[in-house]
Amino acid sequence: MTDRTYHRLVELLEAEISDEMVALEPDLGQCFGFNSVAKDVWRALEKPTSFAELRAQLLAEYDVPEEQCGRELQALLDEMVKVKLIAPTEQAG
Amino acid sequence: MSRRDTTPTSWPLPAFATVSNFLDESQVNGLLDWVFANQNAFRPAEIVDDHASAGGLVSPSFRIASTLRDIGPERATIERRLWAALPTLERETGCKSGSDTLELELAAHGDGAHYRPHLDISYGPGRRPIGASNGQDRVLSAVYYFYREPKGFSGGALRLYRFGARPAEANGDPSNWVDVEPHRNSLVAFPSFALHEVLNVDCPSGSFENFRFALNCWFCRTL
């Protein structure tokens, strides 16, 4: 599997509520709700971060099997890409 | 992510921060002296216009109040207090502002005053950011309440709606909002992108000295 790196596409206005986060993307005028994992991933993507790094951070934080963690992380990243919050960084070469 | 564009009831209510006795009594009186001495300088309040190229709109059906940008000789003291309070406000609202500028405005609310549900930022395609400086957005809003005693008005509570609510959805089920009373010498802070409203003010005397006064404060940054 390619170890893609992801980066943020937008700045959000954010508010944390307990473990979760609510955010507004002002240019779209759209609100997003982040659960604990999504919030951690969004925070990690403050700087471009690879899939492997993100998975390692989640495995250190949450009690979850590696395979499940990778699968659910990929689904989350795909959803974030779909709504244009983040994008995979193009690799040179 | 857990939710997106779902029904308003599935979103949380905004967390807000309250600081009682925010200023010394002499400073409260200084602010009151200033607004009374400058009554004629207040102008009809404008509303946030997402796309205006210059200036704002006055819309009495949406907002009735009068405002003044010059907050007088207490400005330096108040700004110091606000910056000192910011870490507490950020922690209690869950809103890390990253702010480096502050925008202030005095607002006077007399009989019939209100401000219908709104956000303190502009949003949507083609929006024009509003903030302390060009291109900046308001991130964390705070309202400081003050008035002469004995209190000459009633009403004027701040109503905060669930995140994700649209202005058109801002009614119906009371579980969709929380009301915050405008206590004298208190500061209330909340995320600027939370939908909120100023409920109707009743001020039977109609006298400016009996109005509900607020100092609107916005911590701003460039997104």
- Angstrom distance (rounded) from CA B83 to CA B207: 33
Residues of B in contact with A8 (CB under 8 A): none
Give the closest-approach CA distance of A2 to chain B in angstroms. 23
Which of A36-50, B6-20, B130-144 is predicted most confidently? A36-50
- Angstrom distance (rounded) from CA B101 to CA B97: 10
Q: What is the pLDDT of residues B172-205, one digit of tens each?
A: 788 889 999 999 999 999 999 999 999 999 999 9
Residues of A in contact with B161 (CB under 8 A): none
Give the closest-approach CA distance of B82 to chain A in angstroms. 19
Contacts of B153 (CB under 8 A, 6+ apart): B109, B110, B111, B147, B201, B202, B203, B210, B211, B212
The reply to whether A68 touches chain B by the CB within 8 Å rule is no
CA atoms within 13 A on the CB side of B189: 27
pLDDT score at B118: 92
Residue B137: closest CA among B145, B125, B147, B127: B127
- Angstrom distance (rounded) from CA B194 to CA A54: 30
Contact (CB<8Å) A16/B94: yes
- Angstrom distance (rounded) from CA B95 to CA A41: 18
User: Which candidate from B5, B124, B163 shows the least CB-CB separation from A22?
Assistant: B163
Q: Is the pLDDT of residue B54 over 70?
A: no
ipTM: 0.89
CA atoms within 13 A on the CB side of B90: 15
The reply to whether B157 touches chain A by the CB within 8 Å rule is no
Structure tokens belonging to residue B107: 């607002």
The reply to whether B128 touches chain A by the CB within 8 Å rule is no
* Max intra-chain CA distance, chain B: 52
% of chain B surpassing 90 pLDDT: 74
Q: Is the pLDDT of residue B57 over 80?
A: no
The length of chain A is: 93
For A29, name the nearest residue in chain B, comparing CA atoms only: B124
